[in-house]
Amino acid sequence: MGKGKPELFAREATGLVREIGFTLGVIVILSHVIGLGWQKRAFQFTGPRPIPTDLLPLGLPAMFWAFLAGGIVVLITGYAVGYITAAMPRSGGGYVTISRVMHPFIGYNAGWLMFLAEAFSYGLIGVAVFEAIMIFYNIALAPVVIAFDATILFIGGLVVVWVFALIALFGVKLYGRLMEAMFYIPAVITIAFFAMWIAGAMDPSVVSAGVQDVMSTTTRTVTPEYLVDLAARSGMPDNIAGFFDAFSFALGGAFWAYMGWYATTFIAGEVKEANKKLPMVVLSAGLVIIVVYLLASSLSAISTLNVAVQTVDGHQWGFFQSYSWLSYGDVDWAAAGVPANIIAGGTNEIWSYLGVNFQSAWSTGIASIIARGMNMGWLSWLIALAGVIWLANDIPPFLLVASRTFFAMSFDRMLPESFAYVSEKWHAPVWSIIITAVAGILGCIAESNVADLGTYFAFAGVVGTDIFDAAFLLLFCVSCMLLPLERKEIFDRAAVKHSIGTVVGLGFFATVASAFCLYVFIKESPYIWSFFTSGASTGDLWSAAGFWGCILVGILLYVYHMYRNTTKGVDMRTLYLSIPPE
C-alpha cells in the first residue's frame, strides 16, 4: 500500500510553549534596542556636523530632534507590525505574515535575510561587550588602561556567543529570568546616569574636575578649556553645519539606535495572549525607548554645553561640541600644530604627543566623568558596569529573534525539517539555536577584525545587517497594508479590531516610514555597489560579494526547497495559505 500524502508542516504542533507575559515581552524589546549606540549618539553625530550653541533649536542637539522624529516612525511601524503579527501570532513573526499575505518567495527571502541580520548581530554584540569594557572602564579606572587586541576580542566574542546559546537550550522560561536580571540591574543603575548629567548641568565645575581627573597625564594637566581651544584650532569653527544638514545626518544614527523595536513579534508563538496583547507590547516598549533616548541625548549634552564656553567668530562653542569634534570629527591636526610624522602614527600617537589621556565622548562616559569630578569613584565604576550590561543584555533577544525565524522556516519545510526539532523537556528549538550561534561567528570576525579580516566581512557588520533588517521591516509593513485586501478571512478573525481603512492607512504610512529608514541605511553603505563602480577596494569588493551572496543563497534555498517539497507531494500552495499550528 502506498504512503499517504505528507503533512503540510514538519509536525502537528510546534512544541513551543507560551511562557512570555506582557512585561517580559516589553523587556525583550527594550533589551534588544537599548544597547551600546544610544550611549554615544548625541556626541557621535555632533562631531562630524558641529553646530554652535547659539544656533541649536531650543538649545538641544540635532540628535535629540532626530530621536524625536525617528520615534514617530517607531510608533507607527511598531503598532503596524504588532497588529498583523497578532492576527497570525506564530514564531517567525514577519516571515509568517509576509509569506502568507504577499508571496512565499518574498516572505522566504525576507525571513532569510532577517535571520542573517540577527545572527550576525548576535556575534557582533558578543565582541562588543569586550569593547565596551575597554571604553567605559578606561574612564572609570583612569589612568589605568584596559586593552584587548583583535584576537582577544574575537575569542571573547566566541565565548559569549556559545555561553548564551547553551543557556538558551534550557528554554525560554529560564532565558526570560536571565533577561529580567540583565535588564533590571542596569535599569536601576541608570538612575545614576541621569543624576550625574543633571549635576553637571547645575554645576559645570564638576565636569571640569572630572575631565582633569580622567584625562590628565604626568606631562599635562588637561582641562575642558584646553580641549575647547584645541578643537577651535583644529578646524571645528570652520565646519559649522546647518541644522537640516545635521538633523538629516543624525537620522541615520537615530534609526540605528532604534533598530529592533519590534523584536517580540518574532517570538509571538511563545507570548501569552499574543493575539490580543502584542500590539500594545510593541507600542509600550517603543514609548519607553523614545523617552529614554530623548532624556539621555538632551541631558548628557546639556551637562557639557555650558562648560568652557568660547566665542569664535561670533558663535558660542562649548565642551559638548569640542569633545564631540575631537572624538568623531574630521580634525585638522596639522592646523593644531601637530607634526606630520606624529599624525602619520595615528590617533593614539597624537594624543600621546599632546600629553592627553583622551577617552572618546560617550553619554555614559560623561556621567562617569562627572562622578569622578564629584570624588565618587565607586559610582563611576558602577556606571561603567551598567554601560557594559546594557550592551550585554542585547544578546538574548538577538538569539531569540534569529533562532525563531530559522525555526519557523524549518517548520514550513523550507529548510531541513530536522532543524525544527524542539526539546520536549525544555521547549527550545535546539538546532535553530545552534545554527544561530554558528552564523554569529561571522559577526565576531566582522566586529573584532581578527587577522585583518573585518574589511572583507562588512556585510556581516553593523550597517550591512541593518540593511537586511530595514528591508524586512519594509515588507512587514507592506503585509500589514495588504492584509484586509489579500487575506480578508484572517483580517476578520483578528482579535484586535480595526476598520479596513484604518489598517490599510496604518500600513501605508508604516511602509513609507520604513522605506525611508531603508533608504538611510543604503545611502550609508556605498560598498554594496562596488561591482558597479570603478576604483573599489578589494575589501569592498569582497564585502559586496558577501552582501549579494547572502541574497543569492536565500533565492537558491527557496527554489531548492520548493522543488524538493513539491516532488515529495507537499501542497506548498495550501501550506502558504495556512497559518502554522500552535
Strands 310-312 and 315-317: antiparallel
Q: What is the pLDDT of residue 4?
A: 58
Instruction: Give CA–CA dist 223/205, Å, rounded.
Output: 11
Q: What is the pLDDT of residue 194?
A: 96
At the topology level of CATH, where does 22-48+61-497+513-577 sit? Amino acid/polyamine transporter I (1.20.1740)
Neighbours of 244 (CB within 10 A): 9
Q: What is the pLDDT of residue 256?
A: 86
Quick one: 385 exposed, middle or buried, by C-beta within 10 A (0-12, 13-18, 19+)? middle
Instruction: Give CA–CA dist 556/560, Å, rounded.
Output: 6
Residues 6+ apart with CB under 8 A from 188: none
Residues 6+ apart with CB under 8 A from 455: 449, 537, 539, 540, 542, 543
Q: What is the pLDDT of residue 368?
A: 96
Instruction: Give CA–CA dist 495/235, Å, rounded.
Output: 59
Sorted by where each begins, the domain ranges of the chain are 22-48+61-497+513-577
252 contacts 521 by C-beta, under 8 angstroms: yes
Q: What is the pTM of this model?
A: 0.94
Can you read off the three cell numbers belonging to residue 363?
A: 553619554
Please report where in the chains the cell 504588532 appears, as a residue: 82
260 contacts 400 by C-beta, under 8 angstroms: no
Quick one: 317 exposed, middle or buried, by C-beta within 10 A (0-12, 13-18, 19+)? buried
Instruction: Give CA–CA dist 428/421, Å, rounded.
Output: 8
Quick one: 278 exposed, middle or buried, by C-beta within 10 A (0-12, 13-18, 19+)? buried
82 contacts 281 by C-beta, under 8 angstroms: yes
For residue 50, cis peptide bond before it (omega within 30 degrees of 0)? no
Quick one: 563 exposed, middle or buried, by C-beta within 10 A (0-12, 13-18, 19+)? exposed
Can you read off the three cell numbers belonging to residue 251?
A: 537620522
What is the DSSP secondary-structure string of 425-449? Answer: TT---HHHHHHHHHHHHHHHHHHH-
Quick one: 164 exposed, middle or buried, by C-beta within 10 A (0-12, 13-18, 19+)? buried
Quick one: 501 exposed, middle or buried, by C-beta within 10 A (0-12, 13-18, 19+)? exposed
Can you read off the three cell numbers belonging to residue 446?
A: 566582522
281 contacts 271 by C-beta, under 8 angstroms: yes
DSSP code of 8?
S
Instruction: Give CA–CA dist 312/304, Å, rounded.
Output: 18
- Looking at the DSSP bridge assignments, the partners of residue 312 are 315
Instruction: Give CA–CA dist 428/435, Å, rounded.
Output: 13
Residues 6+ apart with CB under 8 A from 69: 247, 251, 254
- Categorise residue 18: left if φ over 0, alpha if ψ from -120 to 50, beta otherwise: beta
Can you read off the three cell numbers belonging to residue 133?
A: 569594557
Instruction: Give CA–CA dist 250/67, Å, rounded.
Output: 8
Can you read off the three cell numbers belonging to residue 562?
A: 520548493
Give CA angle at 294 (199, 70), nearest 5°. 160
pLDDT per residue of the chain (582 residues) written in tens, 0 to 9: 345 566 788 778 899 999 999 999 999 999 999 988 788 899 999 999 999 999 999 999 999 999 999 999 999 999 999 999 999 999 999 999 999 999 999 999 999 999 999 999 999 999 999 999 999 999 999 899 899 999 999 999 999 999 999 999 999 999 999 999 999 999 999 999 999 999 999 999 999 999 999 999 999 999 999 999 999 999 999 999 999 999 999 998 898 899 899 999 999 999 999 999 999 999 999 999 999 999 999 999 999 999 999 999 999 999 999 999 999 999 999 999 999 999 999 999 999 999 999 999 999 999 999 999 999 999 999 999 999 999 999 999 999 999 999 999 999 999 999 999 999 999 999 999 999 999 999 999 999 999 988 878 877 776 678 889 999 999 999 999 999 999 999 999 999 999 999 999 999 999 999 999 899 888 877 878 888 887 888 878 888 888 899 999 999 999 999 999 999 999 999 999 999 998
- Looking at the DSSP bridge assignments, the partners of residue 315 are 312
